Structure 1
Amino acid sequence: MAVSCQSVEETIAGILARRPVLGPVLNAFGPLLEARASLPETLKPLLESAGLRLPDMRGERASQGVPLLADESLKGIDAPLRAAAEVMLPLLAEQEAVKPYAAKLRGFFLGSGEPDGPAMPPLDALAESVLREDAPVLEKTAVGIGVPPEVLLFAFGFMLGPVLRALAAMRPGGDGKDAPWNAEGAWRQGYCPVCGSNPSIAYLERPVFEEKNAYLAGGGGKKHLHCSLCGTDWVFRRGACPSCGKEGNDVMEMLRESKNAQGERLDWCTKCKTYCPSVDLRERDTTPNLDALALGLLHLDMVAAKKGLHPINPSFWNTF
């Protein structure tokens, strides 16, 4: 299972206690993150009924950097997506960027309102186009329903995300340390082995102790990336850039507060100037919800923007 132990609410409360200035952003996005975290359990039966499951990982495709869902059919995902939309759309409608288009989005995803424009692709086709980064399909759909492409992608991500998280969690063993992509050298890419999305945050793990033998232990510090869409965690090389793949002693630098950082920082690449938020769990007493913590590092996003750095996973809250 995922590393996060605290709930979204608990993590946000901890952030606000230290940085109350982030209240407007955290209070605006918090309900979306809470709903996305709770939805997967209710979506699993719908995915099971549709016969959807993650394909097995194949070594040759993994070595070529092909995510599991890269060319898989998502036929049958419409019902889970609509169930997610029922919950997420009212919350999305509260976002300033989405509010003007709320009725059109509801009409498209839930079939209410008057049809406008050409026939739209089914939701499974839209989901496949997002995972395959097929921009023309997304843009055509956005134009057809009268919504800017970036707004459609943002809103759809909050519906597709819980569905993919449920799909990943249904795999035997969940998406934790025993997942096949975390086997030594199995997956070396900086994008998600399941859905191909970029990470929203990284973490360095705590010391690991072998339950069957107390004398066998690891010092911790192994780096993991956390997928911004499906929530999968995977092991990644500490000295490498997830974006451009360059690695070496002079590639990755760190940006963090001088005091009371609690392991929070940005890891940025000196070559391509991208960065990824990160947290060193060895410096914390609790394990935060990673999605909420990524949002709570907005103050470092602002510093990074002034330095001319770019987020590896751009969103409405970290692009200025």
Structure 2
Amino acid sequence: MNILVTGGTGFIGKALIPALQDRGHDISVLTRRCDHPIAGVDYVQELAALNSNIDAVINLAGASLADKRWSTAYKQEIVASRVDLTRALGDYFHSADVQPSVWLNASAIGFYGPRTDEALAEGSSSGEGFAASLCRDWEAAATEAAGSARLCLMRLGVVLDVDGGAYPQMAQPFRMGVANWMGDGQQWLSWVHRQDAVSAFCFALESPKLTGPVNVTAPNPVTSRDFCHAMRQVHRTFLAIPMPGFVMRAMVGEMADELLLTGQRVLPAALAAAGFEFALPGLASALERIEAPSP
């Protein structure tokens, strides 16, 4: 297949592209710049520069929610990088001679909003807050952009790996000998190892019956305190202290209550029903893989 990937130079994209190439697909990446190009990939700065008809779109692009404090201006940048780009993709392909047959669009479990212990599957309702509103608008834009293509809305959990995403920040205190958790530590962390996230995208691409929302989370979510305990098994720590909620709010503002002090217990029901198998379903094995010495 000829596949267009947006966000292909990001944390997930740079791992996904080699996996797609290994499956024999031809890849084009829409990007403003690429400092570390992957051999065999066609990098384009505008859609008009595409060299061939596109069979599938994998839309991963979007400014990080955690890079900056959520000012009004940064919220607008976050929305534009997701919703506006997705609409632009739709406008291009709606006028193209050949339409993609498959569209995989990134979303996030922020769709469900802050929740307590409720187990959430793809049919669960959306929640409140900026992240939930963003995901609803992004998924609506993707639904319109995809047209008649088979659409999977890939609701990503917290993607873990050693060289990017949230993990380096999460691990930093433990590497300094301090074990900690945020707030009361009872909020759920629905995580997934990047290897399984990449495999889930490949699986969705190649599974004709899979459509609609797809939770990309490991089948064993944990609480913040559980995460702390698991991290102490791979890091030697001398002190265990919580990060109080008021400190988190002072540091990052609104983001604290939406992303850090609350969470969601999300289960990958659609992937399970379709027969997907996780390579790293448990946090302990995932952390062992992440912290393993480089060969």
Structure 1-normalised TM-score?
Answer: 0.27
Structure 2-normalised TM-score?
Answer: 0.29
